[in-house]
Structure 1
Amino acid sequence: MKYQIVIAGFGGQGVVFLVKVLAICAGNRDIPFLGTENHGMSQRGGSVSCDIKVGDFTNPVIDKNQADLMIALERNEGLRNVAFLKLDGTIVTNAKDKDTYPELPFKGFAKIDAFKKAENGEFPIQGLNVYMLGFALIHDKNFPFSIQEVKDAITQMNAKVAEQNIKILDQAMKDAEEQK
């Protein structure tokens, strides 16, 4: 298996948390995993992006046109990192309904206004990252881990908030199925 993911957001959104969850998924199956964290201004709400490579890779950095999936926790950060996605890749993005994206040539594209859902009390804003991961699980048929593997990793990552995060993940998957 070889699979590459870019997660893009800004400081405080939990980009690094998702890298750790996916690392646990890989570790639980003894699959090689490389991840990078680019978070220079993260403490001040600046850009944060992480590259994740699942499989037998030697370099953790994803080159342009190589990612299979991009999870954009915020619209502009997704657009800023879109050059890393393969043409047959999938992008899932958190964007307002009124936001328009330029025409993108990618095979898979899904958008949801996760900020609005959090503002409406559908889930706590701290769970935005997990919500977008759940959204990606449904929209990317090639995702390298099963739903159960992701849930197990969330529990291993932080058992204290696992129940809440799994509820958020389930809600996101339900919303994604309804959107299809």
Structure 2
Amino acid sequence: MKYQIVIAGFGGQGVVFLVKVLAICAGNRDIPFLGTENHGMSQRGGAVSCDIKIGDFTNPVIDKNQANLIIGLDANESLRNIAFLRADGAMVTNAKEDYPSIPFKLARVDANAKALNKEFPIQGLNVYMLGVALACVEDFPFSVDEVKRAITQMNAKVAEQNIKILDMAIKNYIS
């Protein structure tokens, strides 16, 4: 397996949490995993993107036109990273408005509105978007059960809530 993901958002949105979940998924299957932070994590609210390479890679940085998937926790950050998406790639983005014509597979969800409507706590936006990716990206490298297991391994105290959010996203997107 070789799979490349860009996760983009802002500091404080849980980009690094998602990287850790996917790293645990890879580790549980003994699949090589490389990850890198492309922008500073030191400032809450600053732009953050992480490159993830799952499989046999030597360089952790994703080149332009190489990512299989972009998970955007913010619409602007999704667009800012679109150059990394390959022609047959997919983008899962948290966006209120429809995007202009984009030649990629696109799943757009207004997760901010769902959080504001108290469907889930805003801190769960990252997990919600991961659930959307699981629901709509056919070649996602891990199963729902593998992701749930990794979430539990990361932090058992909040695992139940995060798994509920993940399940909600999957159900909402498939419905």
Q: TM-score, normalised by structure 2?
A: 0.98
Tell me by how many angstroms 1:44 deviates. 3.5
Q: Which amino acid aligns with 1:103?
A: S
Q: Which runs of 4+ in 1 moved over 6 A?
A: none
User: 1:172 maps to what in 2?
Assistant: 169
Identity %: 77
Q: 1:105 aligns with which of 103, 106, 115?
A: 103
User: 2:67 maps to what in 1?
Assistant: 67
Equivalent residue of 1:92, what SS? Answer: strand
Distance 2:138 2:95 in 1: 21
User: 1:12 maps to what in 2?
Assistant: 12
Distance 1:41 1:68 in 2: 24
Q: Which runs of 5 or more residues in structure 1 are unaligned?
A: none
Equivalences for residues 9-158 of structure 1 within 5 A: 9-40=9-40, 42-96=42-96, 99-106=97-104, 108-158=105-155
Q: Which runs of 5 or more residues in structure 2 are unaligned?
A: none
Distance 2:21 2:41 in 1: 22
Tell me by how many angstroms 1:43 deviates. 1.8
User: 2:158 maps to what in 1?
Assistant: 161
Distance 2:163 2:38 in 1: 27
Tell me by how many angstroms 1:40 deviates. 1.4
Name the Cα RMSD after superposition.
0.9
Q: TM-score, normalised by structure 1?
A: 0.95
Tell me by how many angstroms 1:49 deviates. 0.2
Distance 1:139 1:74 in 2: 18
